[in-house]
Each structure stands twice: as C-alpha cells, then as structure tokens.
Amino acid sequence: TVEPTKAFLPTEANAMDRGSDVLKSHLNRCDQMEVVQTRRGWCQDELGCAPRTEFNYFVGTEHVATSLEDADPCYRIFCNGIHPYRMEVKELHSGLNMITVDRPFACHAANCKCCCYQEASFTSGSDYLGRIEEQFYCCIPQFVVYDNVNRPMYKIHPPTCCSGMFVNCCAEGNPCGRGCCRQSFRIYPFSQEDTDDEAPYVGKILKKPISVLMELFTNAEIYVLDFPNDSSAAQKGTLIGSTIFLNSIFFQGEHPDGIGG
C-alpha cells in the first residue's frame, strides 16, 4: 500500500467518520464489546476437521452481530494459525456489513523476524478503515494498528514484567486462581514511548474462558474488548478486527511459541 502524500491526506474529521452506518450505530457510544467464539470440541481438532471459526458480538447483553470465517479447507487443515482468510462481521438481523477482516498468508508470528510479518486489513462497507501489522521484536510480540492513510494509531502487546523482557502471567490475576486461563493484550497510543510493565494503557483485549472445563476441552473463547476513550467508530472497528486477528495467531492454531513469542 502506497502512503498518500501529505497534500492528499483527509482531514481528521473525515478519517474518524469512516465506516458503514451499521458500524456507527452500534459503536459510536460503545465502551466495551464481548466477542464470543462458537464452541467446537477437541475431537474435531484431533480428527483434523479444522472447522471454520465463528464469532458472536455483544454490546452489554445485546447480541448485535455475527461472523463466520471464509477460508480454503486445505489451508485451514494444513496451515491452521497462519492460513489466509476473510471474515465478514454482519449485523445480526439485517445481515448488513459492519466490518470485513482480510488476512493474507504469512509466516508464524515470531521473534527476530525481518520480513513476512503477520498482518490484516479492515474495511467497513466501502470504506477502508486501516490495518494491523506485526513488528520486529526480540522477546514480546508487538503489533501496530494503522488508520486508513497508514498513520500509526495504537501499539498492542501483552502485559510485561522485568522491564519488558517477559509476559506478565499474573497481570489478570493469580494464574492458579482468578487469573486461570485469562490472557490479555494491552492497547497503547502509538506516541507513548514507555509501554513496559505497569505503564498506563488506554484499552485492553482480554481473553477469558467460558469455564475452565470449556477451556480444556473446546476452543471456545470469550474476548472482552475495552475501547480507548474518545475512539471513533472507525478506530473501534480496527480494534475489533485486531481481536479476530490476534485470536487466529495465538489461540486458533498451534502457535509454536505461544503468546510469549
């Protein structure tokens, strides 16, 4: 994608106003969204079925949208976790487009890569919203979210400890207690230089199990997405797409190194 010259950049108001009417109607006043994956059993994975990923989307208790992965069956079976796919998030009753996620084939997210980064792009209706791309990193997986003209908006990575050297497995609570099977990615403004350890963050993507038994015997996940304050519907759309993208990298396939890179 060629970045437009400064003379052709849209105004900030136009950039923030992007997205379909359906997207704006549900997200303009939304502070949090739950993204709930449809359950699939361990036997399907053991048999190599690799069924298509399906999500339902909730604002509070209201079920607002659903999505189903569109991907080649051979890619899903033999390249699960890195396969290309397209996923369209549609309003529940009307079937109108809210967000479309396009993820190309790329190598596993991994430390010290110099190319072939994981990425995905997001559209809403006829509007291009932006994209997310893996960055070079040594220890902790790092991602940057860009807007529709390729300007960086957010940094996303797991919570860290030891000056950013390790993933903080206790960030969401004691992993042997309340924090069991809970993992998160924190969202920071791109302009914020210090994002390590207890640095302030503006949003969060929290993965939590439906129950511990469900976590053990199915691939069903719940993601609670806390949006940054004052984010536009378009920015929220890129973060919903980023949630789907991160699930496909770290929790859907067999990532060789896990969330810690």
- Digit-coded pLDDT (tens) for 216-226: 445 568 999 99
pLDDT digits (tens, 9 = 90+) for 126-146: 999 999 999 999 999 999 999
**Cα distance between residue 115 and residue 216, in whole Å:** 34
In this structure, are strands 160-161 and 203-208 parallel, antiparallel, or unpaired?
Answer: unpaired
- 3-state SS, residue 23: helix
pTM of the complete model:
0.86
- On the question of pLDDT at 1 being above 60, the answer is no
Q: Which helix (H) or strand (E) holds 186?
A: strand 183-189
- On the question of pLDDT at 15 being above 50, the answer is yes
pLDDT for the residue 173: 79
pLDDT for the residue 227: 98
pLDDT for the residue 75: 80
**Cα distance between residue 236 and residue 99, in whole Å:** 10
What percent of the chain lies above the pLDDT cut of 70? 79
Check: CB of residue 25 under 8 Å from CB of residue 96: no
pLDDT digits (tens, 9 = 90+) for 79-103: 878 889 999 999 999 999 999 999 9
Q: Which of the residue ranges 12-16, 167-171, 248-252 would you say has the lowest mean pLDDT?
A: 12-16
Query: Where residue 211 falls among pLDDT bands split at 50, 70, 90?
Result: low
Residue 121 pairs in a beta bridge with 102, 131
Q: How many other C-beta atoms lie within 10 A of the C-beta of residue 17? A: 14
How high does pLDDT run on average in the chain?
A: 85
- On the question of pLDDT at 258 being above 60, the answer is no
Better-scored residue on pLDDT, 64 or 50: 64
Among 11-20, 139-148, 166-175, the range of highest mean pLDDT: 139-148
pLDDT digits (tens, 9 = 90+) for 27-43: 998 999 999 988 654 44
